[in-house]
Amino acid sequence: MTTPRQSCAHERFSAHVGVQRLTDDGGRVRNFIAEVQVSCTDCGEPFHFLCPDTGFSFTRPTVNVGATMLHAPIAPGEAVLPDRIRFEVQRPVGSGS
Ligand SMILES: [Zn+2]
């Protein structure tokens, strides 16, 4: 950490991704969860995730309290495409009208 957080432009990033393999009492794998954390390489400031709900779910992304870790349910192989796909594109905050 070389740059004070207050004056850092947050231009370089570090990310940590862990994968949790959750088993039942018989040792069978029931779920996989990817855990993602992002921080600024220069000042160490942790980033927080803006959209997901707080908590823990096996069916949708969530974040921890403080939103600094994203928990995303994952599965091996290719996903079956859903009947409907919602795709959104929004302008970045502060990009004008
Ligand atoms: Zn920074």
CA distance 71 to 57: 8
Give residue limits of the domains in the chain.
5-74
70 Cα–ligand 1 center, Å: 20
> Phi-psi category of 58—alpha, beta or left, where left has phi over 0 and alpha has psi -120 to 50?
alpha
20 Cα–ligand 1 center, Å: 28
1 Cα–ligand 1 center, Å: 9
pLDDT in tens, the chain (97 residues): 567 888 999 999 999 999 999 999 999 999 999 999 999 999 999 999 998 899 989 999 999 999 999 999 999 998 887 788 888 888 888 876 5
CA distance 55 to 62: 6
- pLDDT at residue 97, as a whole number: 58
Please, what is the end-to-end C-alpha distance for the chain in angstroms? 37
4 Cα–ligand 1 center, Å: 8
Residue 18 pairs in a beta bridge with 35
6 Cα–ligand 1 center, Å: 8
35 Cα–ligand 1 center, Å: 21
9 Cα–ligand 1 center, Å: 6
